[in-house]
Amino acid sequence: MTHSAPPAVPRFPVSVTVDLVIFTVRDDALHVLLVERGKEPFLGGSALPGGYVRPDEGLDEAALRELREETGLDGGRLHLEQLRSYGDPGRDPRGRVITVAYLALGPDLPAPVAGTDAARAFWAPVGEALRADSGLSFDHGAILADAVERARSKLEYTTVATSFCREPFTVSDLRHVYEVIWGIALDPSNFRRKVTRTAGFLEPTGERRTSETGRPAALYRFGGAAVMSPPLLRSGDIAGRGAGGGSGRG
Amino acid sequence: MTHSAPPAVPRFPVSVTVDLVIFTVRDDALHVLLVERGKEPFLGGSALPGGYVRPDEGLDEAALRELREETGLDGGRLHLEQLRSYGDPGRDPRGRVITVAYLALGPDLPAPVAGTDAARAFWAPVGEALRADSGLSFDHGAILADAVERARSKLEYTTVATSFCREPFTVSDLRHVYEVIWGIALDPSNFRRKVTRTAGFLEPTGERRTSETGRPAALYRFGGAAVMSPPLLRSGDIAGRGAGGGSGRG
DNA sequence: AGACTTTCTAGTCACCCTGACCATAATGGG
DNA sequence: CCCATTATGGTCAGGGTGACTAGAAAGTCT
């Protein structure tokens, strides 16, 4: 306070990375794509896929590139949004590293491609990934927890749940996404009424798919609408429920 | 694709800053705190307050410090949340600068303190700040637009509107915040019913305030609840309306 | 083929919330 | 004392929701 001069060190060694939380619904649980780290620090530990932002690319661009590298998918029918940035000093032992976390949602994706770091990539149930706080490197446990929270709340009032379904899909496919991520059972009839009456949510294809058992279900495509209002549930507060078998976060 | 080696340049010169979008409601318009830049680039232009993140502080910490420096307020009864990060190459002519934008909401704040850069700080109606795209330096026009969008949507389903009111406040004070930011008129009776019946939103103080005219209004304090469900409006989509532009509310 | 199971899909109904509206209370001013 | 103004309370019809019942359309088992 003795002098009002600006800080003497406006610039110092810092790196910027993007980290991806890639979600998909497999079987009856929400899964996240993790990589086994191939170098220090945390060699052999699990972490979110990610990498350094290059000098000539923007943040979204870098996230899209990493996504393509890890999953082989171009961000076509696949949701990608910025989640939040994390930059506590000491979050990376190598030095000051600010990371911009992205959230990606996609249908049951093909077998993960080996990352550019020659690290093994695999799908892990988020419940396990969160419970094994021992497992995730850096502050990726906290990032994952924030991502789960974001995904749960976005399902309430947007149509992103369709990003988890490969087109064409049935109403039951869509309902299954909600049930897995929220960890609750939804009434099939009421769910159908809600999503079919929400303008722009579902677009009928006219075809039907005959499953192994039961009456064949009509097939739909995503209708293009972004928001759903009023929200799907009247109750609102979905947060904190057990999805994917996780006991939740502290 | 010829070789799978990692990028050769993981680290390059980059700086990290925090920029603040500080909103308040003055008179009948949403205002944002801007600074007149005291040095190049954009010398003399308007910009969001902000500054470099220091080597030893986290992002939230840096935002809190900047907020204190600019407004003289410690983040007591004042909402502060991370908005988003912006890092397009070329957004800053000085080089590669990634900025983490924060959104701050506060009651009609005291006269702005001169920034540490000896730059003049002032309140500007967001309508003007956005319209005068000529005015805002860097990509701060886009950041401001995102912040307005965030503020509008958060009013729908959270209780952050109370952050704009100095305690104790009346229901009309609170309603005025919504009307200004959304640019619509709300029915006083229905608004009261909604906010008073939402558990944890308002906490009666038992006192009343007699305004210049009309029946005295009961005074309330913030009740501590974070979310409001169902949302305040049935219609939902508030985005895209003219708020704070001074063009009047319909 | 017929009964059974399973899932999809269409209704019904009571309840609550909302938005529109009317009415009354409580203050200051002419 | 009437009036303007704001605060606050109440009514009422309509729509959406959750709980529930019922029928439709497939496969399976005997």
User: Considering chain A, what is the average pLDDT of its residues?
Assistant: 87
Q: Do B230 and A236 touch (CB under 8 A)?
A: yes
| Cis amide prior to B41 (ω within 30 degrees) | yes
**Residue in the block written with tokens 């499953």:** A211
Q: Output the CA–CA distances (angstroms, integers) from residue B143 to A98, A99, B100, B140, B146, in the order listed.
A: 19, 19, 10, 5, 5
Closest residue, chain A, to B236 (C-alpha): A229
Summarised one tens digit per residue, pLDDT across range A52-64 is 999 999 999 999 9
User: Is A90 in CB contact (< 8 Å) with chain B?
Assistant: no
Q: In chain B, which residues have their Cβ closer than 8 Å to the Cβ of A237?
A: 227, 229
Mean pLDDT computed over A38-47:
89
- Do B29 and B246 contact (CB within 8 A), yes or no? yes
- Do B76 and B40 contact (CB within 8 A), yes or no? no
Specify which residues A228 forms β-bridges with.
none
Specify which residues A221 forms β-bridges with.
A203
pLDDT at A6 over 70: no
Residues with Cβ within 8 Å of B201's Cβ and at least 6 positions away in sequence, in order, are B159, B162, B195, B222, B223, B225, B228
Specify which residues A222 forms β-bridges with.
A202
**Residue in the block written with tokens 């009013």:** B155
Calpha distance A181→A244 (Å, rounded): 7
Cα Rg of chain A, angstroms: 20
pTM for this one? 0.91
pLDDT at A66 over 70: yes
- Do A192 and A170 contact (CB within 8 A), yes or no? no
Residues with Cβ within 8 Å of A111's Cβ and at least 6 positions away in sequence, in order, are none
* Predicted pLDDT at A134: 62
Lowest-confidence range among A47-61, A86-100, A219-233, B9-23?
A: B9-23
Residue B191's SS3 state is: helix
Q: Is the CB of A192 under 7 A from strand C?
A: yes
Which residues of chain B fall short of a pLDDT of 50? 1-9, 242-250
- Do B104 and B222 contact (CB within 8 A), yes or no? no
Identity (one letter) of the amino acid at B41? P
Q: Do A237 and B229 touch (CB under 8 A)?
A: yes
Q: Output the CA–CA distances (angstroms, integers) from residue A51 to B24, B47, B90, B211, in the order listed.
A: 38, 31, 21, 58
- The beta-carbon neighbor of B14 closest among A16, A116, A229 is A16
Please tell me what DSSP assigns to residue B162: G
Q: Is the CB of B194 under 7 A from strand C?
A: yes
* Predicted pLDDT at A5: 39
* Predicted pLDDT at B88: 97
Q: In chain A, which residues have their Cβ closer than 8 Å to the Cβ of B86?
A: 59
The tokens for B207 are: 């006192």
Greater confidence, B79 or A133? B79
User: Is B87 in CB contact (< 8 Å) with chain A?
Assistant: yes
Can you tell me which residue has its alpha carbon closest to the C1' of nucleotide C24?
A: B215
pLDDT band at A72 (very low <50, low <70, confident <90, very high): confident
The tokens for A64 are: 């899209």
Q: Residue A189, CA: closest nucleotide via C1'?
A: C9
Residues at the strand D interface (Cβ < 7 Å): A 187, 189-190, 193-194, 197, 208, 210, 212-216, 230, 232-235; B 170-172, 188-190, 192-193, 196, 208, 211, 213-218
* Predicted pLDDT at A175: 98
* Predicted pLDDT at A191: 98
* Predicted pLDDT at A111: 64
* Predicted pLDDT at B91: 96
Q: Output the CA–CA distances (angstroms, integers) from residue B78 to A83, A96, B29, B100, in the order listed.
A: 23, 29, 19, 19
Mutate to test the interface with A, among B11, B56, B157 (most CBs of A within 10 A): B11
Report the candidate in A115, A227, A108 with the shortest Cα–Cα distance to residue A169: A108
Lowest-confidence range among A66-75, A83-92, A237-246, B16-25?
A: A237-246
Mean pLDDT computed over A132-137:
76
Q: Output the CA–CA distances (angstroms, integers) from residue B171 to A66, A207, B187, B215, B221, in the order listed.
A: 49, 53, 12, 13, 10
Q: What are phi and psi of B104, to 5 degrees?
A: -120, 135
- Do A243 and A128 contact (CB within 8 A), yes or no? no
Q: Do B7 and A52 touch (CB under 8 A)?
A: yes
Closest residue, chain B, to A61 (C-alpha): B88
Report the candidate in B122, B168, B166, B134 with the shortest Cα–Cα distance to residue B22: B122
Identity (one letter) of the amino acid at A231? P
* Predicted pLDDT at B244: 42
- The beta-carbon neighbor of B7 closest among A54, A227, A229 is A54
- Do B161 and B194 contact (CB within 8 A), yes or no? no
- The beta-carbon neighbor of A98 closest among B56, B98, B236 is B98
- The beta-carbon neighbor of B58 closest among A16, A58, A88 is A88
- Do B89 and B96 contact (CB within 8 A), yes or no? yes
Residue B68 neighbours by CB distance under 10 Å? 13
User: Is A224 in CB contact (< 8 Å) with chain B?
Assistant: no
* Predicted pLDDT at A112: 66
> Distance (Å) from CA B191 to C1' C24?
18
pLDDT at A236 over 80: no
Q: Do B87 and A96 touch (CB under 8 A)?
A: no
Summarised one tens digit per residue, pLDDT across range A198-222 is 999 999 999 999 988 999 999 999 9
Closest residue, chain A, to B157 (C-alpha): A236
| Cis amide prior to B230 (ω within 30 degrees) | yes
> Distance (Å) from CA B248 to C1' D6?
21
- The beta-carbon neighbor of A57 closest among B16, B59, B89 is B89
* Predicted pLDDT at B116: 56
Query: H or E element: which one contains B193?
Result: helix B188-197
